[in-house]
Structure 1
């Protein structure tokens, strides 16, 4: 593989159960475990995976449809069941649901018409996140002594 195909983030512990992810462009995102479900609003790693699924497909669909019309509403909800079985902890029954509306007009009619195809194409070919989850990719974990 070449450097132009490599994608990476660095995750650093900031406190007990809290972490900061940094991408190659310097963007950051904090996340961690939920210590108190009543007060902790931060994202967990599982929620970040769900957001990545929604975000990846949303970007593809937005590019395809918004060139015809700006949506009045564009929401993507992703859900799944977190289970623990003989395969370990994992998500099952992942579901990506688009709720999109466009104003009246010729461009909006085109956007509405291509919306189902755009969602299908993103899911079947374009969205790296959903394609990776669906096809399954080995994950290698190593430890480097500092």
Structure 2
């Protein structure tokens, strides 16, 4: 990877089952196991799927006309495979967008279907990565030591 292509976050434990996800720009998202309002890892994955395509669609359509509604619903079924592995299936990203009447709204509305397809097929890094089934490496940074 080149320096300009790498993306990263850090996840810091704040207490049992509670974590803060930090990006290099200083943003923080609370992460948890689903016992409170904190986002779960699965919810963040769904948000990444919808957010990635949503940004693609929004940045182009809003140049044509300001939306009156821009909502993205993302869902999937958490299943356990016959081998006992947890995974998501039936992933769906639904766009619910509306633009005002008139020429600007008509121009924005007309390009939404093409932008959704283009984001899915080519632009959205998250969707492209999930659909490609990119391998994930996990490893320990250093030996874990116990206090004596």
Alignment correspondent of 1:24:
24
Q: Which 4+ stretches in 1 moved above 2 angstroms?
A: none
**5 Å matches for 1:1-146?**
1-35=1-35, 40-85=36-81, 86=83, 88-145=85-142
Give the total of aligned pairs: 142
RMSD (Å) for aligned C-alpha atoms: 1.0
CA distance in 2, matches of 1:143, 1:84: 26
Displacement of 1:105 after TM fit? 1.0
CA distance in 1, matches of 2:140, 2:84: 23
SS in 2 for 1:21: strand
Displacement of 1:145 after TM fit? 2.1
Alignment correspondent of 2:146:
none
CA distance in 2, matches of 1:87, 1:4: 38
Structure 1 unaligned regions, length at least 5: none
Structure 2 unaligned regions, length at least 5: 144-148
Provide TM-score, normalisation by structure 1: 0.94
CA distance in 2, matches of 1:3, 1:136: 24
CA offsets 1:81-131 (integer angstroms, 9 cap, x no match):
001112611100000000000001101101110000000000000011111
CA offsets 1:40-77 (integer angstroms, 9 cap, x no match):
22210000000011110100000111100000000000
Compare CA radii of gyration and give the structure with the larger one: 2
